Structure 1
Amino acid sequence: MAGVFQKKLQTYRLSQIQQVKLLFEAENFQHDAEILKILADEESIWFGQQKQQVFIQVKAEVAVFFKERRLFPEQQIEQESTSGELLISCQVRHEMQLLPLVRYWLPHVRIIQPVHLQQKLEQDLENYLRSAG
């Protein structure tokens, strides 16, 4: 569910809403054309945050899959090396748009920029291995 709170578009999980309090009763609801456009144009559930560009290195063994279709949000091929490796970019609003996809393609991909997302991925993997062992 999407809504505006304090002039900011946000998403809400219906399963997490425990109590609803009706503050006023309107006879009709006026849709905001700007909000409807944002919702129509957005490909994900993540609203209210600025998109950030992410650069990912893709090993040659799996490059064909990234050439055939976009596997990351707004994926673009930035560069292809003579060895067949790719440098791709994508646009994300939230790390959850990125990190599960990167984990799926491990060990064939690596986040180049922003560095903090690669560090977060590595920390999550270390925590998992520590807790699983």
Structure 2
Amino acid sequence: MQKPFPGHKPSHTTKKERERRYAKSNERIAVILSRLYAGEILSMRELADEFDVNLRTIQRDVNERMAGFPIRKNGDRFGLKWAEQNETAFTPEEISVLELLDELSKKQGNAFYSKAHNLLKKLKATAANPFYAKLDMEDIGDKLTVATKIEKAIKQKRLLQCVYKMEENKHDIDIKPLKIANFEGFWYVIAMDARNDIVKKYLLRNISDITVQNETFDVSSEMEEKLENAINVWFDAGKEPFEVRLFIDAEVAKYFRVKPICKNQAIEGEDSDGSIEAVIKITHEMEIVPIVKYWMPHIHIVEPKWLDDMIRKDTEAYLSGEKMI
């Protein structure tokens, strides 16, 4: 038997060593593929440093072990063909919209964000998102399945059977869902009680055990308009809207021009100093009272007088330290 010459290293390895290398190779390829499908463009040299292997190992991974995947190479860098096509398919404005949506999705909780982020990243991978949005919204990530069923029922105008929790009690209810709405950071399902068609607001987080029924219902155009003009959760779909005339001084008028109180806001007068007179329609006084109080003293109600008197009474009671009823 020929003896090995000095310095020669045996080429054979043990079965355990081969299994270890095979598992490590599979793990490395799985990580690379997951990053590719997340939309990343990767560098072979950077991967070699990251996984502490030589460059030829990564090249063999890409050229041989991942040969069946739609990979497009450009020198040292490579990515999935569909990811590059998606990236070039968007205009700069569309990319900005996707990045803004990604930032907004963070405010819906970790469960929602993880799904939305991965989906948006498949459309357009970005290294850093330049947008920041401060939106105080409750986390409904664990209610995505419930929200999906409600959304389906709203689109198809189908009745829902579900369980609704009020304090410590649970109730079986039948509703005609109209909208999923967010008011002051809380998610509501606006729906008609199937027993009498009275519009009610249900906290989404308290809804469970949903069953979509085959029975359908209709929604009037008048009801649709009321829902579209709702300012906050205080709106009352059972009442006829009434006008409120507001005086807004010049110091803050610009904000109400850019972001109207509601869709039906109309500016009916403007003073030389920039102050404006705006008219809105509401169904409940509490749709506008919190807004006026928030912007005091820059805004007050001109008409109706009873509503202005209500706010003045509340303010006087607060300043005097009295308990408001």
TM-score (norm 2): 0.33
- Partner of 1:131, secondary structure, is coil
After superposition, the Cα gap between the structure-2 partners of 1:9 and 1:121, relative to the gap in structure 1 and judged at 3 Å, is: same
| Corresponding residue for residue 81 of structure 1 | 271
Match of 2:227 in 1: 42
User: Distance between the aligned counterparts of 2:256 and 2:203, measured in 1?
Assistant: 34
Structure having greater relative contact order (Cα 8 Å, sep ≥ 6)? 1
SS in structure 2 of the partner of residue 33 of structure 1: coil
Q: Decide which structure has the larger Cα Rg and report it.
A: 2
Matched, 1:3 2:192: yes
Q: CA deviation at 1:123?
A: 1.1
Moved more, 66-75 or 3-12: 3-12
1:30 aligns with 2:216: yes
Q: How does 1:1-133 map to 2 (within 5 A)?
A: 1-4=190-193, 9-13=198-202, 28-34=214-220, 38-39=223-224, 42-43=227-228, 44=230, 45=233, 46=235, 47-72=237-262, 74-129=264-319, 130-131=321-322
- Tell me which amino acid in the other structure corresponds to 2:219: A
CA RMSD of aligned residues (A): 2.8
Counterpart-to-counterpart distance in 2, 1:6 and 1:117? 33
**Residue 2 of structure 1: how far off its partner (Å):** 2.7
Separation of aligned partners in 1, 2:315 and 2:227: 30
Q: Distance in 2 between matches of 1:88 and 1:28?
A: 45
Q: CA deviation at 1:126?
A: 1.9
Q: Report deviation, 1:84.
A: 1.6
The count of aligned residue pairs is: 121
Q: How far apart are residue 83 of structure 1 and its match?
A: 2.2
Alignment TM-score, normalising by the size of structure 1: 0.74
C-alpha change, 1:40 and 1:115, in structure 2 (3 Å) is closer
1:57, CA displacement in angstroms? Answer: 0.4
Sequence identity (%): 28
> Secondary structure at the residue paired with 2:308?
helix
Evaluate the alpha carbon distance shift between residue 69 and residue 50 of structure 1 in structure 2; reply closer, same or farther with a 3 A threshold: same
Provide runs of 4+ in structure 1 moved above 4 Å.
4-8, 12-15
- Tell me if the contact between 1:72 and 1:101 (Cα under 8 Å) persists in the aligned partners: no
Alpha-carbon distance between aligned partners in 1 of 2:219 and 2:197, rounded to the nearest angstrom: 15
Whether contact under 8 Å (1:54, 1:114) holds in the other structure is yes
Unaligned runs of 5+ in 2: 1-189, 205-212
Contact 1:99 1:121 in 2 (8 A): yes
Query: How many angstroms apart in 1 are the aligned matches of 2:265 and 2:225?
Result: 19
Matches of 2:313 and 2:279, distance apart in 1: 22
